[in-house]
A and B are shown apart, each in its own frame.
Chain A
C-alpha cells in the first residue's frame, strides 16, 4: 500500500471491428489527485474509461489497482474495486427521495425484510456532511439543481467506498454558479484522499480544478504532465496535433447577393442574440463544443423552437417562421443531425422518404403519381450516387452514407435557397464523408447558400468560406476560412479566448437579461 498511485493502466489496446481505437495507451492516477483526461471527439477517452469501468474489455495491456493487477470483466467488478463512473447523462431517479437514490439496489433491511429508513437517512446525512452540504434526505431528487443531482451520484460513489471517481464532462449541463459548486465538492473529495479522473473539453475548467493531465489523440497517448507551469496553448496543440494540414475542398468564387440575414435571434436558455448572414454561393460554418447552442440556433431559425427575440430576412424580405413548414416555404432546408431521430422515417421506403417534403410536385388531382416519384428518385440516385438495389425497401436498410444522400436529395427536390446541414457526416464512413462534402460544395457552386454545423473543426475548415465559433450560446469569433487553424478555433470554442468586439457585446446582452 505504499504506492503513490491508485490506478495504473499500461499499454491498453482496443479495436472495434478491426479499427484500432486505442493504441498502447497508458494512464496513471495518483492518490488524491484530480487528473484531467483530454482529447478531441474520437480521441479514445470514452473507450479508455469504459475499459476502466468494466464496460469494455481491453484487447491487450494491464490494469493495476493499489499495486495489484486486476481484470475488469464487468462494471460490477470495477465498482467493487472502488471505481465509480459518473456519466454525462445523470443516473438518478427524480421521483425517488434522496436517500432512496443513494441506496438504490443496496437498501438496508431489517430481519423482517422492511427497509431501515432512519438508518439510511442518517448515513446519507453523514456523507453529505462530508461534502459540506446539508440536504433533507427525504426530499425528492427531481426538486434539486443539476449540480446537486451530480452530488447525489458522487455521494453514492462514496457510500460504496469508491476511491476513484470518473466524471465524463460533468459540467455540460451546468450553469456557471453550479460549476463553481461542483468544483468545491471536488476539492473536498480530493482532501479526503479520493482521486478523480475528469474528462472535459473546457480547458478553462481544467486549469481551475485539475492537478495533472493526460492527452490522447487518435487513440494514442500524447503526453502527461502537471498543469502547474503548463500553458493552455501547449495543451491545445497536443490535442490537435500538427499533422492535420489537408487540402481545402472549397474554392473561392464570387458570391451573389445576401440570401439570409439573421438579426438578434435568440432563444432563452439556449443561446444569446446572434447575428449572421449568408450570400449566394457562400458556405458558412458554425462550430463549437458540446453545449455551444449551435443546434438550438438552427432549430430556432427553422421554426422548430420558439424564438425569444430577433428577425429573419430571406432575399431581402422579412419572414415569420413559426413552424418548419414556414421555413420550407420561405426557402430554407435542413438536413438535421442525429439522422435516425430527426431525419429519416424508418418505416417509409426510400422513395417515400425522398418525396416527403415535396409531395406537391407529385400530385395530380389529389393523387400521388408514383411513376413520377420513381423517375425523380432515379434522377437523384444518379446525381448523388446513391447505392441500392431496390428503392422500395424501407430506408433503415441502407448504410448511413446512403441514408444521408437520400435526406439531401429530399431537400434538393424541395429546392430551397438556403440549405443547412447539421453534422452532415455523422456516422458515415470516410469515403462517403468526402462525397457528401463534395456534393455540398457543388451546391454552393450552383448558387445555393450553405450553412454547415459541425463539432469537427478540421471538417469545417475544409469546406467553409467563413466560420462562426460558438461557446455556451454565444458566437465568440468569426474567422475567414483560409485564416482558420484548429488551434485558433479550439481556443475560441473552449472559451479560453474571445473576440473583444463582438463577443463582449453578446456577453453583456446575455448578462442584462438575467
Chain B
C-alpha cells in the first residue's frame, strides 16, 4: 500500500508557462545576451564579413553537432566523429585522385561515413555495448586506419574542381554555411516531423516502454548512428575541400568535444529524450561567437579552452535548475 502523494491535476498557471518558455528557449535568450554583449565589446564584431566568418567557422562542427544531437537524444553518445571525419577525408581524397571524379569522391565519403556509423549502431544496438565504449573503440580504430593509409601525413587532392565545394559563394554566402543550414532544416524535419524522430525521442526517454509500444529499438538505434556517420561524411567533405587536403593525424582532432559541448549548451539532456535541434543550432553559434570574440580581443589561444569549459559548465548548471 503506497500513499498517493502526487495526485495533482495538471495546471496551466502563469508560472508554469514562464518556466516552459525558459526551458524551451533559454539557449536563444543566452545567444541574444552573448550576441549583444559581443557587439558592445568589439566594434568589428558586427561587421558582415566577421559574421560570415563565424558561420563559416562553425559550419563543420555544426553539421557534426546535428548528428551528435540525434545520438544524444536517443540516450547515447558518439566519440568517434572526429576520427571518422579524418578517415572519410583520407579515403575520399584517394578516391578522388584515383578516379578524377568529384562525384565519385563525395559518394565514397558518404559510403565510408555511413558505414562507420552503421558499425557503431550495430555494436550499440545488437552487441549491447555501451555507446561510450563502442564509439571510443571506433575513435581509436578509425584514426589508426587513417594514419596507416596516409602513412601518418597529409594527402592532397589532385583534381582542380574539388576545392570549389567549400570555397564558392552563393550571393556572398559561402557554400559550407548553406550546407549547414540545409542540414539543420533536414535534421529538424526528420526529428520533429517524422516517425523516426518521434521514435528517437521515445527511446531516449524510456527504452523499455518504447519497445513495449512495438518500436524496433535496435533498428532505430542503428539508423541513428548511421545518420550521424553520414553527417560526419558531409562535414569531412567540406573539411577536405576547404584546404584541398586532409591530415590523417590532426584533422578532426577533438571535434567530438566541440560537438558535444554545442549539444549540451543547446539544452539537450545527456541521458536522452529531451532536447531540440534548434537548440543545438544556437549552441553551435554561441561557441562560434565566443571563439571569435576571444580572437578579436587577443585572448591567448591557450586560454580559449578554459573559457569554453567554463561556458559548458555554466550552461549545464542552468539547465539543472529547470
Contact flags A381-398 to B (C-beta < 8 A → 1, else 0): 000000111100100011
B213 contacts across to A, CB distance below 8 A = 324, 345, 356-357, 410
**Of all chain B residues, which has the CB nearest A397?**
B10
Residues of A within 8 A of B189 (CB): 367
- Contact assessment for B202 and A356 in the assembled complex, using a CB-CB cutoff below 8 Å: yes
> What is the distance, in angstroms, from A408's C-beta to the closest C-beta of chain B?
13
Chain B's interface size range is 20 to 34
Instruction: Tell me if A341 and B206 are in contact (CB < 8 A).
Output: yes
A334 & B201 in contact (Cβ 8 Å cutoff): no
Q: Which of B198, B211, B212 contacts A368 (CB 8 A)?
A: B198
Q: How far is the CA of A367 from the CA of B196 in the complex (A)?
A: 10
Cα-based distance from A323 to B216 in the complex (angstroms): 8
- B300 interface residue per 8 A CB criterion: no
Which A residues are in CB contact (< 8 Å) with B215? 324-325, 356-357
What separation, in Å, do the CA atoms of A26 and B179 have in the docked complex?
Answer: 75
Interface residues of B in 1-15 (CB under 8 A from A): 1-5, 7-12
- For residue B205, CB closer than 8 A to chain A, the reply is yes
For the complex, what is the distance from the CA of A328 to the CA of B202, rounded to whole Å?
A: 17
Bits for B59-85, please: 1 = Cβ < 8 Å to A, else 0.
Answer: 000000000000000000000000000
Question: For the complex, what is the distance from the CA of A352 to the CA of B4, rounded to whole Å?
Answer: 26
B181-211, CB under 8 A of A: which get 1 and which 0?
0000000010001110011011011101111
Whether B266 sits at the interface, judged by CB under 8 Å, is: no
Interchain CA distance A344-B1 in the complex, whole Å:
22
| B10 proximity list for chain A (CB < 8 A) | 388-390, 393, 397-398
Question: Residues of B contacting A399 with CB < 8 Å?
Answer: 7-9
* Contacts A341-B208, A342-B212; A356 near B198 (Cβ below 8 A): yes
**Chain A: CB-nearest residue to B197:** A368
Minimum CB distance partner of A332 in chain B? B214
Q: Is the CB of B216 within 8 A of A325?
A: yes
What distance in Å separates the Cβ of A452 from its nearest Cβ neighbour in chain B?
Answer: 17
Known contacts A21-B1, A357-B213; decide if A347 and B12 are in contact (CB<8 Å): no
Residues of chain B within 8 A of A55, CB atoms compared: none
Instruction: Given A17-B4, A41-B1, A359-B195, verify A348-B212 contact (CB < 8 Å).
Output: no
Kindly report which residue of chain A lies nearest to residue B207, judged by CB atoms. Answer: A345
A99 at interface, CB cutoff 8 A: no
B274 close to A (CB within 8 Å): yes
Find chain A residues with CB under 8 A from B12 CB: 389-390, 393
| A363 interfacial contact with B, CB 8 Å | yes
A343 at the interface (CB under 8 A from B): yes
Bound: A366/B198 CA distance, A: 12
Known contacts A21-B3, A347-B274; is A327 also within 8 Å of B214 by CB? Answer: yes
Residues of B86-121 at the interface with A, using a CB-CB cut-off of 8 Å, are none
Q: Provide the A355-370 mask, 1 if CB < 8 A to any CB of B, else 0.
A: 0110110010011100
* Contact for A324 among B1, B2, B195, B212, CB less than 8 A: B212
Complex: how many Å from CA A235 to CA B5? 33
Separation of A190 and B189 alpha carbons in the complex (Å): 69
Whether A427 lies near B2 (C-beta < 8 A) is: yes
A324-B211, A367-B193, A389-B10 are contacts. A19–B216 as well, Cβ < 8 Å?
no
**B216 close to A347 (CB less than 8 A):** no
Question: Do the beta carbons of A359 and B198 come within 8 Å of each other?
Answer: yes
Task: Please indicate the chain B residues that have their CB under 8 angstroms from the CB of A360 in the complex.
Answer: 195
User: What chain B residues lie within 8 Å of A334 (beta carbons)?
Assistant: 212
CB pair B212 A302 closer than 8 Å: yes
In the complex with contacts A324-B211, A334-B212, A367-B205 CB distance below 8 A: no
7 contacts between A and B (CB under 8 A): A41-B1, A304-B212, A336-B209, A341-B206, A343-B212, A357-B213, A359-B199
| Interface residues in chain B, defined as those with a beta carbon under 8 Å from any beta carbon in chain A | 1-5, 7-12, 189, 193-195, 198-199, 201-202, 204-206, 208-216, 273-274
Give the B-binding residues of A (Cβ under 8 A).
16-17, 19, 21, 41-44, 46-47, 302, 304, 323-325, 327-329, 334, 336, 341-348, 352, 356-357, 359-360, 363, 366-368, 387-390, 393, 397-400, 410, 414, 427, 429
Q: In the complex, given contacts A324-B211, A389-B12, A400-B7, what are 10 additional A-B residue pairs having Cβ atoms less than 8 angstroms apart?
A: A16-B5, A21-B1, A302-B212, A323-B216, A356-B202, A368-B198, A388-B10, A389-B10, A399-B8, A427-B4
